[in-house]
Amino acid sequence: MARSVLQYLKYQYPEIRVLYVEDEKFSREKLLRVLNRRFAHIHVAIDGVEGLQLYQKYKPDLIIADIKMNQMSGLEMIKKIRAQNEKVQVIVTTAYEDNEFFVQSIENNVNHYILKPIDLDLFLQAIQKSVYQIQLEKELEKQKNLTRTILDFQDNLIFVIEDGNIVEWNQAFTNITGIGIHTNHSSSYQSQFLSSFFVEDPHYFYPKDKTRWIEEFLATGKTSAKIRWKSSPGNDYNYVMKAGTIPGSKQILFVLTDITDLERESRQKEHLAMLDPLTSSYTRQKFKEILISEMRRTERFDRAFSLILMDIDFFHTLNEQIGQTAGDRILITVSTIVQQRIRECDIFARWGGEEFILLVPETNGKEAVFLAESIRSIIEKYQFPHIGQVTCSFGVSEFAPGKTKNELLLELEKALAISKANGRNRVTLFTEEL
């Protein structure tokens, strides 16, 4: 008998489909009264055989089953259902406190195990937990479907290959490859034609034998890979290439989603994250990463490098006198002066507040002092608009194999501190005598 719309709206879980399997009539009718107040869709079976048939017909979201029944036990039924669906929620009930049943329940991924006589509170808690998991899975599936629909509306490159020939394609594919410009879709092209489009890049899929690119891609066991292609106009594009066999045929469907702009934007954001937003020099964190890498390289190849730490003299006093905006202009100008003076291979970063740090590869301490003195002199002679003269103090330290990062930076701080203590606007090289 059909339930009215009003009744349907009163159910606690109106969208959840339930399969209830119980061979004992009294227990079945008793628990069914509880379930009928909460679910609109309930399918009832008296044994595992009927339960399995109902499951295959209605594909319920939640299974509630007794363990021991005639013909087919609840656990046998659950095992067969689990082979078809690993995510369906399962609650088992049993009058037997037998460890063997409990272990078998665990092996069959039973979600909740309820002893008879059933404690209603525990039973309802189990239902609530299962329903929450079901609703979560449905919401995730809904989001997946939404994402899939959105992707379907993109201007993806789509083509179909059968027996080594490109037999179907869309306009976006034609625009990039030129295939189909002068022919109709009744023609076909060898898939090897596409081998010339692959661009070698260590971060993208690139076949060893480009004439067998399909076999190599499928042999990876992956359903998707990033590739770089050159188009007929000569531009490079980045794609996510997905492939799958069309059911009931030998045809393979390929979908290429353009991620060129996304990857370019990602690289730009990654680059911006490395830079101090005010001075366009590297951040302290990025500098530390580069420093560790340079220490490893230097120890491996037995080469020299040095660090220069510089501090704008009396910057806090200047900031109070001229204001933060003018103070920021000093920081920007000092950063610009240094970046114009150093080599392309040198690494310059804002270390903090008014401090900057410089890594100079292939440079010993005396050579680094010469560079620091040059920068100091340029800054001293520069006339800052509305401010006049600004000076900087410098500390220099040369890396030696065996030094730790912290030891090197402490030497640098000590050398800078000595420059400040000796009157500022000077360069000090760290030595063991300091």
Per-residue pLDDT, 95: 79
Per-residue pLDDT, 147: 46
Asked if residue 151 has pLDDT above 50, the reply is no
- The pLDDT of 326-349, averaged and rounded, is 93
Per-residue pLDDT, 233: 59
Helix-strand-coil split of the chain, %, nearest 5: 45, 25, 30
Per-residue pLDDT, 58: 94
Per-residue pLDDT, 341: 94
Q: Which residue is associated with the tokens 């189990």?
A: 126
Start-to-end CA span in the chain (Å):
96
Distances (CA, A) of 121 to 60, 193, 421, 422: 23, 67, 76, 79
* Residue 5 pLDDT level (bands cut at 50, 70, 90): very low
Q: What's the chain's average pLDDT?
A: 86
Contacts from 401-408 at CB under 8 Å and sequence distance 24+?
401/298, 401/299, 401/302, 403/295, 405/288, 405/291, 405/292, 405/295, 408/291, 408/295, 408/307
* Residue 69 pLDDT level (bands cut at 50, 70, 90): confident
Asked if residue 198 has pLDDT above 70, the reply is yes
* Residue 181 pLDDT level (bands cut at 50, 70, 90): low
- The pLDDT of 249-260, averaged and rounded, is 88
Strand 62-66 vs strand 13-21: parallel, antiparallel, or unpaired? parallel
Token pair in block for residue 218: 């499928």
- The pLDDT of 260-288, averaged and rounded, is 82
**Least reliable range by pLDDT among 82-96, 269-283, 301-315:** 269-283
Burial class (CB in 10 A: 0-12, 13-18, 19+), 417: middle
Asked if residue 420 has pLDDT above 70, the reply is yes
Helix (H), strand (E) at residue 169? strand 165-169
**Contact (Cβ atoms closer than 8 angstroms) between residue 230 and residue 197:** yes
Greater pLDDT, 47 or 267: 47
Which pLDDT tens digit goes with each residue over 351-403?
999 999 999 999 999 999 999 999 999 999 999 988 899 999 999 999 988 88
Q: Which of these, 414, 413, 280, lies nearest to 349 by C-alpha position?
A: 280
Asked if residue 148 has pLDDT above 50, the reply is no
Asked if residue 57 has pLDDT above 80, the reply is yes
Which pLDDT tens digit goes with each residue over 210-244?
888 989 998 888 888 898 888 655 678 888 999 98
Q: Of 73-82, 166-175, 395-404, give the range with the top mean pLDDT.
A: 395-404
* Residue 259 pLDDT level (bands cut at 50, 70, 90): confident
Token pair in block for residue 3: 């339930």
Q: Which of these, 134, 44, 126, lies nearest to 93 by C-alpha position?
A: 126
- The string of DSSP codes covering 208-251 is SSGGGHHHHHHHTT-SEEEEEEE-TTS-EEEEEEEEEEPTTSS-
Asked if residue 434 has pLDDT above 80, the reply is no
| Cα(302)–Cα(91) distance, integer angstroms | 67
Per-residue pLDDT, 425: 97
**Least reliable range by pLDDT among 36-50, 144-158, 372-386:** 144-158
Per-residue pLDDT, 152: 47
* Residue 184 pLDDT level (bands cut at 50, 70, 90): low
Per-residue pLDDT, 64: 93
Alpha-carbon radius of gyration of the chain: 36
- The pLDDT of 287-308, averaged and rounded, is 90
**Least reliable range by pLDDT among 114-128, 188-202, 369-383:** 188-202
Per-residue pLDDT, 424: 96
Asked if residue 85 has pLDDT above 50, the reply is yes
Asked if residue 146 has pLDDT above 90, the reply is no
| Cα(326)–Cα(337) distance, integer angstroms | 17
Distances (CA, A) of 264 to 172, 236, 259, 272: 21, 12, 8, 12
Asked if residue 2 has pLDDT above 80, the reply is no
- The pLDDT of 171-197, averaged and rounded, is 75
Greater pLDDT, 183 or 340: 340
What does DSSP assign to residue 94? E
